[in-house]
Amino acid sequence: MDKQFNPFSLDGKVVVISGAASGIGRQCAVSCSKMGAKLILLDLNESGLTETMTMVERPEEHYTAAVNLTDYERVPEIIKEAVAKVGRITGLLNCAGISTTLPLNVAKPETLDKFFHVNVYTAYFLSQTVCKVGNFSKDGGSIVFFSSAAGQYGETCKSIYGMTKGALYAGAKSLACELARKNIRVNSISPGVIVTPINMNLPHIADPEQRKQTEALHLLGLGNPEDIANACIYLLSDASRWVTGSNLVVDGGYTTR
Protein backbone atom coordinates (compact mmCIF):
# COMPACT_ATOMS: atom_id res chain seq x y z
CA MET A 1 0.00 0.00 0.00
CA ASP A 2 1.28 3.46 -0.87
CA LYS A 3 0.92 5.38 2.38
CA GLN A 4 1.61 8.67 0.59
CA PHE A 5 -1.35 8.22 -1.75
CA ASN A 6 -4.20 10.38 -0.54
CA PRO A 7 -6.17 12.27 -3.19
CA PHE A 8 -8.44 13.59 -0.43
CA SER A 9 -5.66 15.44 1.38
CA LEU A 10 -6.30 19.11 2.12
CA ASP A 11 -2.63 19.91 2.80
CA GLY A 12 -1.87 23.39 1.49
CA LYS A 13 -5.56 24.27 1.16
CA VAL A 14 -7.15 27.32 2.75
CA VAL A 15 -10.83 26.78 3.39
CA VAL A 16 -13.46 29.34 4.44
CA ILE A 17 -16.33 27.84 6.43
CA SER A 18 -19.41 29.87 7.29
CA GLY A 19 -21.62 28.69 10.12
CA ALA A 20 -18.60 27.12 11.82
CA ALA A 21 -19.83 27.63 15.40
CA SER A 22 -22.06 24.56 15.49
CA GLY A 23 -23.48 21.50 13.79
CA ILE A 24 -22.35 20.64 10.27
CA GLY A 25 -20.16 23.74 9.92
CA ARG A 26 -18.28 22.88 13.09
CA GLN A 27 -17.77 19.28 12.01
CA CYS A 28 -16.52 20.48 8.62
CA ALA A 29 -13.97 22.65 10.44
CA VAL A 30 -12.78 19.75 12.59
CA SER A 31 -12.61 17.29 9.69
CA CYS A 32 -10.93 19.72 7.27
CA SER A 33 -8.29 20.56 9.88
CA LYS A 34 -7.61 16.84 10.33
CA MET A 35 -7.09 16.59 6.58
CA GLY A 36 -4.47 19.36 6.73
CA ALA A 37 -6.38 22.49 5.71
CA LYS A 38 -5.89 25.95 7.13
CA LEU A 39 -9.23 27.46 8.03
CA ILE A 40 -11.05 30.78 8.00
CA LEU A 41 -14.03 30.26 10.27
CA LEU A 42 -16.99 32.64 10.24
CA ASP A 43 -20.10 32.73 12.39
CA LEU A 44 -22.28 35.16 14.30
CA ASN A 45 -21.83 33.11 17.46
CA GLU A 46 -18.47 34.05 19.00
CA SER A 47 -18.55 31.59 21.91
CA GLY A 48 -19.46 28.77 19.53
CA LEU A 49 -16.49 29.67 17.32
CA THR A 50 -14.22 29.64 20.35
CA GLU A 51 -15.47 26.17 21.20
CA THR A 52 -14.90 25.00 17.63
CA MET A 53 -11.32 26.24 17.90
CA THR A 54 -10.77 23.94 20.88
CA MET A 55 -11.74 20.99 18.69
CA VAL A 56 -9.71 21.63 15.52
CA GLU A 57 -6.14 20.50 14.82
CA ARG A 58 -3.39 23.16 14.86
CA PRO A 59 -5.65 26.02 16.04
CA GLU A 60 -2.78 28.50 15.79
CA GLU A 61 -2.87 28.20 11.98
CA HIS A 62 -6.50 29.25 11.59
CA TYR A 63 -8.41 32.52 11.56
CA THR A 64 -11.81 33.12 13.11
CA ALA A 65 -14.17 36.05 13.00
CA ALA A 66 -17.52 36.58 14.68
CA VAL A 67 -19.51 38.36 12.01
CA ASN A 68 -23.05 38.76 10.80
CA LEU A 69 -22.83 37.48 7.24
CA THR A 70 -25.65 39.81 6.22
CA ASP A 71 -23.28 42.70 6.98
CA TYR A 72 -22.21 42.92 3.35
CA GLU A 73 -19.75 45.74 4.02
CA ARG A 74 -17.94 44.10 6.93
CA VAL A 75 -17.53 40.64 5.38
CA PRO A 76 -15.16 41.79 2.59
CA GLU A 77 -12.94 43.52 5.19
CA ILE A 78 -12.76 40.34 7.23
CA ILE A 79 -11.95 38.16 4.23
CA LYS A 80 -9.18 40.54 3.18
CA GLU A 81 -7.69 40.44 6.67
CA ALA A 82 -8.01 36.65 6.83
CA VAL A 83 -6.28 36.18 3.47
CA ALA A 84 -3.41 38.40 4.64
CA LYS A 85 -2.96 36.18 7.69
CA VAL A 86 -3.75 32.68 6.43
CA GLY A 87 -3.15 32.87 2.68
CA ARG A 88 -5.19 32.82 -0.50
CA ILE A 89 -8.40 30.85 -0.40
CA THR A 90 -8.76 27.52 -2.21
CA GLY A 91 -12.15 26.48 -0.91
CA LEU A 92 -15.42 27.74 0.55
CA LEU A 93 -18.09 25.81 2.42
CA ASN A 94 -21.29 27.86 2.66
CA CYS A 95 -22.65 26.02 5.70
CA ALA A 96 -24.44 28.91 7.41
CA GLY A 97 -28.19 28.66 7.25
CA ILE A 98 -31.45 28.44 9.15
CA SER A 99 -34.47 26.20 8.88
CA THR A 100 -38.17 26.50 9.54
CA THR A 101 -41.32 24.43 9.38
CA LEU A 102 -44.04 26.93 8.54
CA PRO A 103 -47.48 26.63 6.92
CA LEU A 104 -48.31 28.84 3.94
CA ASN A 105 -51.15 30.63 5.74
CA VAL A 106 -48.93 32.21 8.39
CA ALA A 107 -45.91 33.14 6.28
CA LYS A 108 -45.22 36.83 5.82
CA PRO A 109 -43.05 38.71 3.34
CA GLU A 110 -40.66 39.45 6.20
CA THR A 111 -40.31 35.71 6.84
CA LEU A 112 -39.25 35.10 3.25
CA ASP A 113 -36.91 38.09 3.38
CA LYS A 114 -35.19 36.71 6.45
CA PHE A 115 -34.78 33.20 5.07
CA PHE A 116 -33.58 34.33 1.67
CA HIS A 117 -31.12 36.72 3.28
CA VAL A 118 -29.65 34.18 5.68
CA ASN A 119 -29.71 31.11 3.42
CA VAL A 120 -29.22 32.55 -0.07
CA TYR A 121 -27.89 36.12 -0.04
CA THR A 122 -25.14 35.44 2.48
CA ALA A 123 -23.87 32.39 0.57
CA TYR A 124 -24.01 34.25 -2.73
CA PHE A 125 -22.24 37.37 -1.52
CA LEU A 126 -19.68 35.48 0.55
CA SER A 127 -18.86 33.55 -2.63
CA GLN A 128 -18.60 36.85 -4.51
CA THR A 129 -16.24 38.24 -1.89
CA VAL A 130 -14.09 35.14 -1.80
CA CYS A 131 -13.75 35.27 -5.61
CA LYS A 132 -12.66 38.91 -5.67
CA VAL A 133 -9.23 39.75 -7.02
CA GLY A 134 -6.53 38.96 -4.49
CA ASN A 135 -8.65 36.65 -2.34
CA PHE A 136 -8.88 33.37 -4.23
CA SER A 137 -5.89 31.25 -5.22
CA LYS A 138 -4.77 31.82 -8.79
CA ASP A 139 -4.74 28.02 -9.16
CA GLY A 140 -8.49 27.91 -8.53
CA GLY A 141 -10.32 25.73 -6.05
CA SER A 142 -13.77 24.70 -4.94
CA ILE A 143 -16.95 26.33 -3.68
CA VAL A 144 -19.70 24.29 -2.06
CA PHE A 145 -23.27 25.47 -1.54
CA PHE A 146 -25.44 23.72 1.01
CA SER A 147 -28.69 22.80 -0.68
CA SER A 148 -30.91 20.11 0.82
CA ALA A 149 -33.11 17.22 -0.15
CA ALA A 150 -35.87 19.75 0.60
CA GLY A 151 -34.56 21.87 -2.28
CA GLN A 152 -35.78 19.32 -4.81
CA TYR A 153 -38.34 17.22 -2.95
CA GLY A 154 -41.43 18.29 -1.07
CA GLU A 155 -42.18 18.12 2.61
CA THR A 156 -45.24 19.58 4.33
CA CYS A 157 -44.60 23.10 5.66
CA LYS A 158 -41.07 23.20 4.22
CA SER A 159 -41.87 25.55 1.34
CA ILE A 160 -39.82 28.51 2.56
CA TYR A 161 -36.80 26.44 3.53
CA GLY A 162 -37.18 24.42 0.32
CA MET A 163 -37.30 27.54 -1.86
CA THR A 164 -34.04 28.84 -0.42
CA LYS A 165 -32.35 25.46 -0.85
CA GLY A 166 -33.67 25.12 -4.39
CA ALA A 167 -32.20 28.54 -5.16
CA LEU A 168 -28.78 27.42 -3.98
CA TYR A 169 -29.01 24.22 -6.05
CA ALA A 170 -29.85 26.23 -9.18
CA GLY A 171 -27.37 29.02 -8.51
CA ALA A 172 -24.47 26.62 -8.07
CA LYS A 173 -24.94 25.27 -11.58
CA SER A 174 -24.73 28.66 -13.30
CA LEU A 175 -21.84 29.76 -11.11
CA ALA A 176 -20.02 26.57 -12.13
CA CYS A 177 -20.31 27.75 -15.74
CA GLU A 178 -19.18 31.27 -14.86
CA LEU A 179 -16.20 30.41 -12.66
CA ALA A 180 -14.76 27.47 -14.63
CA ARG A 181 -12.50 29.88 -16.54
CA LYS A 182 -10.82 30.65 -13.20
CA ASN A 183 -10.59 26.93 -12.44
CA ILE A 184 -13.00 27.42 -9.56
CA ARG A 185 -15.33 24.46 -9.27
CA VAL A 186 -18.81 25.04 -7.87
CA ASN A 187 -20.98 22.24 -6.54
CA SER A 188 -23.85 21.82 -4.15
CA ILE A 189 -24.47 19.20 -1.54
CA SER A 190 -27.90 17.98 -0.54
CA PRO A 191 -28.07 16.41 2.89
CA GLY A 192 -31.04 14.53 4.25
CA VAL A 193 -31.92 14.92 7.91
CA ILE A 194 -28.78 15.22 10.00
CA VAL A 195 -28.79 14.95 13.77
CA THR A 196 -27.09 18.06 15.14
CA PRO A 197 -27.19 19.65 18.60
CA ILE A 198 -29.58 22.31 17.26
CA ASN A 199 -32.16 20.15 15.53
CA MET A 200 -31.99 17.45 18.19
CA ASN A 201 -34.56 19.54 20.06
CA LEU A 202 -36.90 19.95 17.07
CA PRO A 203 -40.07 17.84 16.99
CA HIS A 204 -39.09 15.65 14.02
CA ILE A 205 -36.12 14.34 16.01
CA ALA A 206 -36.91 15.02 19.67
CA ASP A 207 -40.38 13.46 19.62
CA PRO A 208 -39.98 9.63 19.56
CA GLU A 209 -42.99 9.06 17.30
CA GLN A 210 -42.00 11.75 14.80
CA ARG A 211 -38.39 10.60 14.89
CA LYS A 212 -39.50 7.12 13.92
CA GLN A 213 -41.32 8.60 10.92
CA THR A 214 -38.31 10.73 9.96
CA GLU A 215 -36.01 7.73 10.23
CA ALA A 216 -38.35 5.64 8.10
CA LEU A 217 -37.90 8.14 5.25
CA HIS A 218 -34.15 7.49 5.22
CA LEU A 219 -33.10 4.02 4.04
CA LEU A 220 -29.91 4.19 6.09
CA GLY A 221 -31.35 6.04 9.09
CA LEU A 222 -30.55 9.64 10.00
CA GLY A 223 -27.20 11.17 9.19
CA ASN A 224 -24.41 12.60 11.33
CA PRO A 225 -22.45 15.81 10.69
CA GLU A 226 -19.43 13.60 9.84
CA ASP A 227 -21.30 12.18 6.84
CA ILE A 228 -21.59 15.67 5.36
CA ALA A 229 -18.09 16.75 6.36
CA ASN A 230 -16.63 13.71 4.56
CA ALA A 231 -18.52 14.65 1.40
CA CYS A 232 -17.19 18.20 1.71
CA ILE A 233 -13.62 16.92 2.02
CA TYR A 234 -14.10 15.17 -1.32
CA LEU A 235 -15.47 18.31 -2.98
CA LEU A 236 -12.68 20.49 -1.56
CA SER A 237 -9.88 18.08 -2.43
CA ASP A 238 -8.11 17.37 -5.69
CA ALA A 239 -9.98 14.06 -5.80
CA SER A 240 -12.90 16.01 -7.28
CA ARG A 241 -10.81 18.12 -9.67
CA TRP A 242 -13.05 17.14 -12.63
CA VAL A 243 -16.34 17.68 -10.78
CA THR A 244 -18.22 20.93 -11.17
CA GLY A 245 -21.87 21.93 -11.43
CA SER A 246 -22.93 18.75 -9.69
CA ASN A 247 -25.18 18.19 -6.71
CA LEU A 248 -23.89 15.58 -4.31
CA VAL A 249 -26.80 13.88 -2.58
CA VAL A 250 -25.86 12.64 0.90
CA ASP A 251 -29.18 11.65 2.36
CA GLY A 252 -29.11 8.02 3.48
CA GLY A 253 -31.40 7.16 0.60
CA TYR A 254 -34.14 9.69 1.41
CA THR A 255 -34.59 10.77 -2.20
CA THR A 256 -34.26 7.31 -3.70
CA ARG A 257 -37.90 6.39 -3.26
In one letter, which amino acid is 139? D
First to last CA, the chain: 39
Q: How far is the CB of 81 from other proteins (least distance, A)?
A: 18
Q: How far apart are CA 119 and CA 134, in angstroms?
A: 26
The smaller minimum CB distance to other proteins, of residues 126 and 222, is found at 126
Q: Which of 72, 124, 153, 161 is catalytic?
A: 161
Q: How far is the CB of 133 from other proteins (least distance, A)?
A: 5
Note the Cα 181 to chain centre separation in Å: 23
Q: How far apart are CA 127 and CA 144, in angstroms?
A: 9
What are the b/e assignments for 47-67, b being 16+ CB within 10 Å? Answer: ebbeebbeebbeeebbbbbbb
* Residue 184: strand pairing partners: 141
Q: How far is the CB of 109 from other proteins (least distance, A)?
A: 26
Q: How far apart are CA 73 and CA 83, in angstroms?
A: 17
> Are the CB atoms for 145 and 171 separated by under 8 Å?
yes
The smaller minimum CB distance to other proteins, of residues 31 and 127, is found at 127
Strands annotated E in 170-250: 184-191, 247-250
Q: How far is the CB of 136 from other proteins (least distance, A)?
A: 10
Report the interface residues with other proteins, using CB under 8 A. 132-134, 178, 181-182
Is residue 169 annotated as a catalytic residue, yes or no? no
Q: How far apart are CA 257 and CA 101, in angstroms?
A: 22
Q: How far apart are CA 162 and CA 176, in angstroms?
A: 21
The smaller minimum CB distance to other proteins, of residues 48 and 171, is found at 171
The smaller minimum CB distance to other proteins, of residues 34 and 182, is found at 182
Q: Are strands 63-66 and 38-43 parallel, antiparallel or unpaired?
A: parallel
Residues annotated catalytic, as ranges? 161
